[in-house]
Structure 1
Amino acid sequence: MIFMDMTMERVDTEHTTIELQKAGFSHSGETLLQETSLSISEGSCVLVMGPSGAGKSLLLKILAGIIPLTTGRITLGGTDLGQASNREMKSLRTRQGFVFQDAALWQNLSIRQNLSLPLQYNGPHRSPRQIEERIASLANRIGFYQSLDLRPARLSSGSQMMVGIMRALMTDPEICFLDEPSNGLDTATQQNLLDILQDLKQRGKTLVIASHDSTIASRLADQFLLIDQGEVIFFDTAHNSTRAENSRVREILQGVLGLSATYDADILDILGGGDENPFG
């Protein structure tokens, strides 16, 4: 089944690289993101992991320009987000999609209205018919078959997440940020999500995903980014994670991936291969 309902060429991702330079964030005197510098390559899939409360959601919102830094600099495709004009930020928004951990749907709008907003305000002009076709295509792709006239409160948390994922993809963004996108999804929908993410990656999209999903880790991730108590302690390939000198890196991987995957074949393969427990 072809994912996109409109004719789409492989995207030019020249302007999607994200770079943090001595970036930090503090609030009410508390440091929530310790100073860090890193670069996310265009077309890559970065999996953000860490224990609960480590700062994963905050980091994603900073990378997307939703929350401004208090120190340092962030650039997206060469554009300094701290200095960008409203016009530049609007242009950047058309090239981004963000899936929030709690879906963050407008409760006073119908599902159809929630999904229409990105194309009405950020995306290229689409006729009502084109918007409806886009919604129908995404709904079919992820497996959402409930009435589009319902309000979010009538949906389960899993169904709300499905709508949040659809909304993030409405403009066919070049870069997608996804915060725990598989939360609340049943097995069939998780597979649909994986298919969608694989399709996006094959088309050259940049993916930044906060997730503890072992399947996403093993089949999509090019790099692991591990954060602990607001500090980025590892950012490298999955293969190199098993060789990290920081014992905390290994502890987090064992807790996040090992327990959820029970060292299934996929995780064993990505963390070193074979039947040997890489942390044993």
Structure 2
Amino acid sequence: MNATETNTNEGVVVIQDLTKSFDTTEVLKGITLSLKKGENLVVLGKSGTGKSVLIKCIVRLLKSDSGSIKVLGNEVTELNNTDMNEVRRKIGFLFQGGALYDSMTVRENLEFPLKRMYKNLTKAEVDAKVKEALENVGLPDSIDKMPSELSGGMKKRISLARTIIVDPEIMLYDEPTTGLDPVSSHEISLLINEVQQKYKTSSIIITHDIECAKTVANRIIMLQEGKVYKEGVLSDFENTDDELVNSYFKSQNITNTKTI
């Protein structure tokens, strides 16, 4: 099957009846959801509900067991590796830890994806795109620093700059505020909104951070025990008699832990 252009009427990501197990442990138990063009979709849930597994299946870092995953009109479960790589070129993935290359400067980290994907760019064009990306995340003066010289919040910003530098259509954020102090977390949340507005991205934001969800979400899906438990806009979660939603969504004691 060849990679095709998306039919945005049905969503840029459309998932139906997705399942994934590890040995005898069922993590995803028939997930169905869609990401609309231009929206920020937040996927909430406690640790172990399958949030990170979900987006890794979308880019086929993990292979799903059954179900359908369509990304920009392509059924990714059926694509060969070459066509899957073409789809991945249109997706930005911000990992929990940032995944910067420790041995490279900030400049080199940002140049790396550009040189891999756009081999015909001149040095001046590469320099211009690196400068623009760093300005967009508010860190133009960090260009020659090493990752070890950056704070946690700065590393997340640089990782975001490296992701958006190749102009993705879809952004996948895996716990973007994990490990950050409240001020840095809020700054990253605001940056997610800025990326959506400037680059017209469609994004899935995996998080357990309620404040991040409140800041970035156009729509929210809550996972519970590997299934979609509730879907709606922010007010649907803040104004509900559902005890499970209230106990999770209104809790002020959410801890920044890594999720499966």
Bin for the TM-score computed over the shorter chain: 0.7 to 0.9
Give ranges in structure 1 of 5+ residues lacking alignment. Answer: 1-11, 261-280
The aligned counterpart of 1:224 is 220
Give, in whole Å, the separation in 2 of the partners of 1:202 and 1:147.
24
C-alpha distance 83-113 of structure 1, shift in aligned 2 (>3 A): same
The aligned counterpart of 1:73 is 68
Aligned length: 247
Are 2:123 and 1:128 equivalent residues in the alignment? yes
2:85 to 83, 90, 103: 90
Q: Cα offset for 1:44?
A: 1.3
| Secondary structure in 1 matching 2:8 | coil
The aligned counterpart of 1:250 is 246
2:165 to 159, 162, 170: 170
Are 2:115 and 1:115 equivalent residues in the alignment? no
RMSD: 2.9
Contact 1:50/1:226 (8 A) holds in 2: yes
Q: Which has the higher contact order (CA 8 A, sep 6+)?
A: 2
Give ranges in structure 2 of 5+ residues lacking alignment. Answer: 1-5, 255-260
Give, in whole Å, the separation in 2 of the partners of 1:188 and 1:124.
38
Instruction: State how 1:1-280 maps to structure 2 within 5 Å.
Output: 14=8, 17-123=12-118, 125-145=120-140, 147-185=142-180, 193-203=188-198, 204-242=200-238, 246-255=242-251, 258=252
Contact 2:153/2:184 (8 A) holds in 1: no
Q: Cα offset for 1:149?
A: 4.0
Contact 1:64/1:177 (8 A) holds in 2: no
| Secondary structure in 2 matching 1:164 | helix
Scaled by the length of structure 2, the TM-score of the pair is: 0.81
C-alpha distance 129-14 of structure 1, shift in aligned 2 (>3 A): farther
Identity of aligned residues (%): 24
Give, in whole Å, the separation in 1 of the partners of 2:221 and 2:161.
25
Give, in whole Å, the separation in 2 of the partners of 1:125 and 1:237.
43
Give, in whole Å, the separation in 1 of the partners of 2:66 and 2:250.
32
Q: Cα offset for 1:181?
A: 1.9
Give, in whole Å, the separation in 2 of the partners of 1:235 and 1:241.
9
Contact 1:159/1:185 (8 A) holds in 2: no
Q: Which amino acid aligns with 1:236?
A: G
Contact 2:221/2:230 (8 A) holds in 1: yes
TM-superposition CA deviations, 1:183-206 (whole Å, max 9, x none): 455677556544443333335320
